Structure 1
């Protein structure tokens, strides 16, 4: 049973630790398929993940880690549900969680797949496919710039109701009518929600399918996933983890900045994420639901140059395009920190990065809040860390930094990974 120490301390009250149910046991659930690998201290890594849960900021933590293609850690702990009169439920390995912004890598893959199949050119203007996007100086913004957060429309106009996110056509209209931060893609500004709305329309224009139908066709069904959908289908409703408010009240400068990025204050976003409107919606930038194992499998597929269990989901060249640096680290107007992106992913760093120190080849994405999914070719690992607590500032920060450092140091680093994406020319010839 999971025990959270100091359950009634002043510290936990200050940081708004969610009150968990005392009516259910919260056991640690371990996948019996975990494989032991000599020299890898899995228990030390998990101890850091368990400390993250025990901080009280994350009622549920689910984690999956693969090394050299083997599942070496796959565990869940804590409370998945129990808000607003919902019957409390313990975390399970197959509990889907919302990936929030980590969804962006999946939606970007769909655009890269369109390019692989010749249905879209990444260097074409977005307005070639969506003419209305050309309004107010955006005519020359390319699809590639959109994926790399350089489309110049990082948010909807101030004062827009968050409910607009549930209306695709209205959201699209607002984005198309906006003037950009610049007309040539020079300014980097994280597109928290708006990029996914444009991606949804691009998929529809190029295929005639909804983005969930296209996701089913190229990723979900070929990889054998049970969940892995934008939104939560009614047939599966109630299996997903609920999201909990936690951490200091978000009245700080950080909280205000997040309100600008997300289009609403943090607590409102958390509340909305548990509503039927959110579960019914298709938000490719922020509401993919997946288990930790599914998210890890997805990044393992990318690590394996698009191959999964004998199927070529993506070509190696497509993976290369997805994961290659779009530009050197640059000040991000939205996040107010230097960021290094590819056309669809957040990249690691040589000195310090999102996935720990000395991770220059790592690619993945963060999700609100403390969700981290990534792969690192130098260490031959794919990782997903999912949770349902949503703190901005809390007593968990050292725990998550310690977890990332434990992962980084446990896996030997290869010096030379040149060509990890394979022999492009030969493979592309065989792909036809």
Structure 2
């Protein structure tokens, strides 16, 4: 065994990584819809460099599958997938393709929030009304005045469920809603910011059911999936597609001590347990608004491109421009989140926002909006740069040797796709 192979073997053992072959060219699937970067006034070499950062992210061994879709000005500059959908450490792994569906985890929240905004657009709810106006049981234990807008903004006061509640509650929406409704609130006026990793989605799905009589997927089909011609883009997968999904892997340094405890507080279980659950038939079949929308990178980028275009896709008005504006507008100044603790956050009513000088989506991304998913899934739009981006991965590391490559990819996107839109002019226009 050569020195390079010895290094990789030790690295994989330390970081729980997968074995990466020397030649990865046979593991790459490139979309036919890519256009030359020069069509958007960019250098093709710069776009090729972005892809090399994605290749480095895969080569770290932390992510068995990496899929990237980057749109600029509506044109697809990158649409590529690299790696394995399943069996990454087996002798006959299943190679991923552009059609491999990936679980978005918490990035699902951005889509779910837009469905709630659509209810408001159609006059079925008022975002400033208390949740209890539509779901009376939610009024219990000091939550009577919590509004739908506060629910979308992670200020509903029920960021998690008690430790003695089994995580299998995920698969029983009725019981989950009952549990959340009977819980005491952290406050009664929405003053405390605390990321709702799972709970908010169950209440949102219940709102959809109460006011429309439709399930989460039925309403998603009606509003987004069918009008936009999505193949997947649904909560859970149909049984026939289970064998196609990208399997999730627990990679990276083992999470111990305060790191693991905080992750349990946020996720409701340890990382390895969450990964195992996410690969189960029950999870694949469930409809969980906060956590299990399945899509390809291109479909996710397509969704954010539609938002960039004022809610329009190929001539169809999916959302009104005013609805998009309501959904991405900042709610308060950056502040520390009681659940996420170490990270100053900017939220809208449903989105995680970028930040200057450096934010979730890279440097100088003040105008960007989107959402992160567990653990290195990033989906966003940046109107100042006129880009819609999705980075989907199947490894679930928290600490690992992938961080430098991920940082270079995010920094590269921001530096390559420089600001091209006068946001002050945009902000001066009347919707």
- In the superposition, the TM-score normalised over structure 2's length comes to 0.94
Structure 2 partner of 1:184: 189
Superposed displacement of residue 419, structure 1: 5.8
User: Which of 306, 309, 316 is equivalent to 2:314?
Assistant: 309
Superposed displacement of residue 352, structure 1: 1.5
Per-residue CA shift, 1:252-296, capped at 9, x if unaligned? 422220111111000000011000010111111010000000000
Superposed displacement of residue 11, structure 1: 2.2
Structure 2 partner of 1:365: 371
Superposed displacement of residue 418, structure 1: 3.6
Structure 2 partner of 1:132: 137
Superposed displacement of residue 416, structure 1: 2.2
User: Which of 391, 395, 414 is equivalent to 2:420?
Assistant: 414
Task: Tell me, yes or no, if the aligned pair for 1:64 and 1:292 is still in contact at 8 Å.
Answer: yes
Structure 1 partner of 2:167: 162
Structure 2 partner of 1:92: 97
Superposed displacement of residue 410, structure 1: 0.2
Per-residue CA shift, 1:23-69, capped at 9, x if unaligned? x9852111122111222311111111110000000010010000000
Distance, in Å, in 2 between the alignment partners of 1:224 and 1:151 is 34
- Which is worse superposed, 37-46 or 138-147? 37-46
Superposed displacement of residue 384, structure 1: 0.2
Task: Tell me, yes or no, if the aligned pair for 2:104 and 2:292 is still in contact at 8 Å.
Answer: yes
Superposed displacement of residue 357, structure 1: 1.3
Structure 2 partner of 1:392: 398
CA 245–121 in structure 1, closer or farther in 2 if over 3 Å, else same: same
Q: Aligned ranges for residues 158-237 of structure 1 at < 5 Å?
A: 158-237=163-242
Superposed displacement of residue 80, structure 1: 0.7
For structure 2, the 5+ residue unaligned runs are none
User: Which of 312, 320, 323 is equivalent to 1:318?
Assistant: 323
CA 35–415 in structure 1, closer or farther in 2 if over 3 Å, else same: closer
Q: Aligned ranges for residues 251-262 of structure 1 at < 5 Å?
A: 251-262=256-267
Task: Tell me, yes or no, if the aligned pair for 1:20 and 1:79 is still in contact at 8 Å.
Answer: no
- Which is worse superposed, 31-40 or 193-202? 31-40
Superposed displacement of residue 411, structure 1: 1.1
For structure 1, the 5+ residue unaligned runs are 426-432
Task: Tell me, yes or no, if the aligned pair for 2:66 and 2:83 is still in contact at 8 Å.
Answer: yes
Structure 2 partner of 1:341: 347
Distance, in Å, in 2 between the alignment partners of 1:410 and 1:403 is 10
Structure 2 partner of 1:145: 150
Structure 2 partner of 1:430: none
Distance, in Å, in 2 between the alignment partners of 1:7 and 1:141 is 54
Superposed displacement of residue 5, structure 1: 6.9
Distance, in Å, in 1 between the alignment partners of 2:81 and 2:6 is 22
CA 37–421 in structure 1, closer or farther in 2 if over 3 Å, else same: farther
Task: Tell me, yes or no, if the aligned pair for 2:62 and 2:395 is still in contact at 8 Å.
Answer: yes
Residue 64, structure 1, aligned to residue 69, structure 2: yes
Distance, in Å, in 1 between the alignment partners of 2:295 and 2:125 is 27
Task: Tell me, yes or no, if the aligned pair for 2:18 and 2:89 is still in contact at 8 Å.
Answer: no
Superposed displacement of residue 351, structure 1: 1.4
Per-residue CA shift, 1:337-378, capped at 9, x if unaligned? 211000000000121110111111000000001100000001
Residue 330, structure 1, aligned to residue 332, structure 2: no
Distance, in Å, in 2 between the alignment partners of 1:96 and 1:6 is 34
Task: Tell me, yes or no, if the aligned pair for 1:157 and 1:174 is still in contact at 8 Å.
Answer: no
Distance, in Å, in 2 between the alignment partners of 1:18 and 1:248 is 13
- In the superposition, the TM-score normalised over structure 1's length comes to 0.94
Distance, in Å, in 1 between the alignment partners of 2:8 and 2:362 is 32
Task: Tell me, yes or no, if the aligned pair for 2:27 and 2:84 is still in contact at 8 Å.
Answer: no
SS of 2:294's partner is: strand
SS of 2:71's partner is: strand
Aligned residues: 421
SS of 1:390's partner is: coil
Task: Tell me, yes or no, if the aligned pair for 2:306 and 2:312 is still in contact at 8 Å.
Answer: yes
Per-residue CA shift, 1:199-243, capped at 9, x if unaligned? 110000010000100000000000000000101111322111110
Structure 2 partner of 1:9: 9
Distance, in Å, in 1 between the alignment partners of 2:145 and 2:254 is 41
Structure 2 partner of 1:428: none
Distance, in Å, in 2 between the alignment partners of 1:60 and 1:69 is 25
Per-residue CA shift, 1:158-186, capped at 9, x if unaligned? 12111111111111111101111110000
CA 419–311 in structure 1, closer or farther in 2 if over 3 Å, else same: farther
Distance, in Å, in 2 between the alignment partners of 1:166 and 1:344 is 23
SS of 2:243's partner is: coil
Superposed displacement of residue 84, structure 1: 10
Task: Tell me, yes or no, if the aligned pair for 2:383 and 2:421 is still in contact at 8 Å.
Answer: no
- Which is worse superposed, 394-403 or 246-255? 246-255
Distance, in Å, in 2 between the alignment partners of 1:373 and 1:106 is 11
User: Which of 372, 380, 398 is equivalent to 1:374?
Assistant: 380
Superposed displacement of residue 150, structure 1: 0.2
Superposed displacement of residue 94, structure 1: 0.9
CA RMSD, aligned part only?
2.0
